[in-house]
Amino acid sequence: MKKFTWLVPTIYILFLMLPIYWLLNMSFKTTNEILGVFTLWPQEFTFENYIAIFTDSTWYNGYINSVTYVVINTVISVSAALPAAYAFSRYRFLGDKHLFFWLLTNRMAPPAVFALPFFQLYSAANLFDTPLAVALAHGLFNIPLAVWILEGFMSGVPKELDETAYVDGYSFPRFFVKIFMPTIAAGIGVTAFFCFMFSWVELLLAKTLTSVAAKPIAAIMTRTASTSGYELGLLAAAGALTIIPGAIVIYFVRNHIAKGFALGRV
**Which range in 23-31, 68-76, 170-178, 242-250 contacts another protein by CB under 8 A?**
170-178
Interface pick for another protein out of 38, 101, 117, 160 (rule CB under 8 A): 160
| 183: contact with another protein by CB under 8 A | yes
DSSP codes of every residue in 145-201: HHHHHHHHHHHTS-HHHHHHHHHTT--HHHHIIIIIHHHTHHHHHHHHHHHHHHHHH
**Which range in 102-110, 166-174, 217-225, 251-259 contacts another protein by CB under 8 A?**
166-174
Interface pick for another protein out of 168, 222, 229, 264 (rule CB under 8 A): 168
Residues 6+ apart with CB under 8 A from 62: 215, 216, 217, 219, 220, 221, 238
Helix axis angle for 232-252 and 48-55, nearest 10°, is 80
Interface pick for another protein out of 104, 185, 213, 258 (rule CB under 8 A): 185
CA dist 257 and 83 (Å) reads 22
- By CB under 8 A, the count of residues binding another protein is 17
Q: How far is the CB of 203 from another protein (least distance, A)?
A: 39
CA dist 30 and 47 (Å) reads 9
Residues 6+ apart with CB under 8 A from 26: 34, 232, 233, 236
Q: How far is the CB of 188 from another protein (least distance, A)?
A: 12
Interface pick for another protein out of 95, 169, 173, 264 (rule CB under 8 A): 169
Nearest alpha-carbon partner for 147 in 263, 254, 247, 29:
263
| 164: contact with another protein by CB under 8 A | yes
Interface pick for another protein out of 179, 203, 204, 263 (rule CB under 8 A): 179
Residue 184 or 205: the one with the smaller Cβ distance to another protein is 184
| 236: contact with another protein by CB under 8 A | no
Q: Which residues of this chain interact with another protein, rule CB under 8 A? A: 158, 160-161, 163-171, 174, 179, 182-183, 185
